Each structure stands twice: as structure tokens, then as C-alpha cells.
Amino acid sequence: MAALDEFGALTKAFSGLGVDENALISILGKWNTEQRQSFRKGSGDFFIEDERQFEKWDHHHDAIVLWTMHPWERDARLLKESLYNYNVLIEVACTRSSQELLGARKAYHSLFHHSIEEDISFHLHTAQNKLLLAVLSSYRYEGPKVNQEIAKSEAKTISNAIIKGKRDLIEEEDIVRILSTRSKLHLKAVYKHYKDISGNYLDQDLDGDLLVKETVQCLCIPQAYFSEVLDASLGYEAADEISKEGVSRVIVTRADVDIQEIKEEYHKKYGLCLSNKIEEVANGNYRDFLLTLLARGD
């Protein structure tokens, strides 16, 4: 449970009354999920409950607000803001647990009074719809059992589809079925068997099908996907809002999940320390807060 003086400091900060900004960053950066939930429930001026007793923030958000927000609401808002940004839709759908994705869909109902599936069907009329709807509606098995023979067979199915190359992979029903229904452990086995069959990593052979490639990465090697997102975002000036959104999204949503693996992958892939890169391109309190979250993986 967060201390009352910490609650008070944050209330002043969000009210615009002034606070020691270094202390603010330190407080929020070290809080766990339970402490952030306590703050939301005790901060009625900023987080309100709707008719479903779901706490929600009713303003535009930055990295600090994203961090404080209920993870389900955070993902729901990311989905809403990314209706035309396929990679973020795939990211949320494929890097969350089944329960987290279900929670995000419930939060979407509470916040926007209809479903993410309804919005995608209404706003997007593309070949990508089938895959997007399938992965966003998925509730995957998360147990330890994997049938290696089936995984090997499905790796062969994907390999054959890539070799044929007669049409976009996103239109291949077997590929959509495999990617949207199989457990992540199963898909990691498919990924391994594909390498054994073809000699290449699956995502390497998908450069011409970006959405399918990012789906495979998010499901099988999320640390590689996130390191690529960070590299693309950190290539811009820190003042660029699009770049800040990408960096904030990755670091905030993965700080309590796999930020250490992402840091290691980033260093291996680009020869740079992620913390040093953040220090180089970001400024002020935004930089300090991101560094605080990155340090949670140490």
C-alpha cells in the first residue's frame, strides 16, 4: 500500500499545484501494480468509476499517466487510438496474456460502448481484417503442453505457403488459423521447426508480409519486435510526438513484464545500451521517468 504522503505528492502533481518532480518520478517508478491500483481508487478527482465499476482516466495521457492507468484501460485506449495503426493492434493482441487481452476488450466496452471487433469491422475494409479480428478475439491455451508433431506439420504448412507465394499470406486460412488459435508455446515450437525445415528464421522469410511478420514476432520473439520498435522510435528527435508515443508505449507496457529481455535484445541487435540511448535522445523529466522504469529490469 502506498504511503499517504506519496499519495499527497501525486495528487498535488496531477492538480498542477507543484511537487518535487524528482520525487514524483521516484515514487511512480517504483510502485507495483497494487500500489498503482490503490492510487487510482483513492484519487477520485482523476480516476472515476463507470457503471461497470471500472476505473478510468478521462484525459489525454503521457508516459506517467499511462503507467498509473489500469492496464486494461491502457490497452483499450491504445487499441482505440490505433484503429489505423495495424502494428499496435497486433502488438496488444499478441503480446498480452489471454486474460489481459480479455480484460482490455472488457475495458473497451466500458470506455467506448462497443467492441474493438465492431470498430475494426466498421472502419477497416482491408485484407488485414481477418487476421486482426482473429487475434484480437483469441483466448489462447496457456498451459505447458505442446504437440511437437502438429507443430512440425504446421511449420511445413507455413513453409509451403511461403514457397508458393501465389497470394498474400494474410489470405491463407491455415496461416490465420495457426497464428490466431495456437498457444504461444506451440507457436514457438512452430518457429523452431520452421528453422529446421527451411534453414531460415520464419520472420526473416516474411519481410514481404509485414503484418504477418509482426504477428509472428509478437507471438514468438516479442523482445525482437519491441527492440525494433524502440530503434525506429529513438531515431527521431526527442521532441517528435510520434517517436515519444512509441518509446513510452513500449517501456511503460513492458516494464513489469520483459523489459530486461528487451534491453538485452536491443544491445545485441544494435550494439547500444538502451538506457544510454534514452539519455542521448530524451530530455528532462520524461527521460528520467523512462530511465526509472528501465531500471526495474535490473
Is position 124 within any domain? yes
Say whether both 116 and 169 belong to one domain.
no
Is position 154 within any domain? yes
Is position 169 within any domain? yes
Collect all residues with Cβ–Cβ distance below 8 Å to 129 and sequence separation of at least 6: 120, 121
Q: Are 274 and 267 in contact (CB under 8 A)?
A: yes
Percent of the chain residues topping a pLDDT of 90: 59
Residue ranges making up the domain that contains 119: 80-136
CATH code of residue 47: 1.10.220
Say whether both 249 and 290 belong to one domain.
yes
Domain boundary among 220, 255, 277: 220
Give per-residue pLDDT as tens, 175-205. 999 999 999 999 999 999 999 999 999 999 9
Domain boundary among 72, 107, 128: 72
Is position 141 within any domain? no
Say whether both 193 and 211 belong to one domain.
yes
DSSP conformation letters of 124-154: --STTHHHHHHHHT-----SS---HHHHHHH
Say whether both 183 and 246 belong to one domain.
no
Is position 247 within any domain? yes
Say whether both 197 and 230 belong to one domain.
no
Residue 25 has pLDDT above 70, yes or no: no
Give per-residue pLDDT as tens, 63-101. 777 888 899 999 999 999 999 889 999 999 999 999 999
Domain boundary among 40, 72, 104: 72
CATH code of residue 173: 1.10.220.10
Is position 143 within any domain? no
Q: Indicate the burial class of 41 (C-beta count within 10 angstroms; 0-12, 13-18, 19 or more).
A: exposed
Say whether both 121 and 156 belong to one domain.
no
Is position 187 within any domain? yes
- Per-residue pLDDT band for 168 (boundaries 50, 70, 90) equals confident
Q: What angle do CA 5, 40, 244 make, to 5 degrees?
A: 100
Say whether both 250 and 199 belong to one domain.
no
DSSP conformation letters of 194-236: HHHHHSS-GGGGGTT-HHHHHHHHHHH-HHHHHHHHHHHHTTS
pLDDT of residue 19: 41
Q: Indicate the burial class of 145 (C-beta count within 10 angstroms; 0-12, 13-18, 19 or more).
A: exposed
Can you name the residues that pair with 47 across neighbouring β-strands?
Answer: 57
Q: Are 186 and 178 in contact (CB under 8 A)?
A: no
Is position 90 within any domain? yes
Tally of domains within the chain: 4
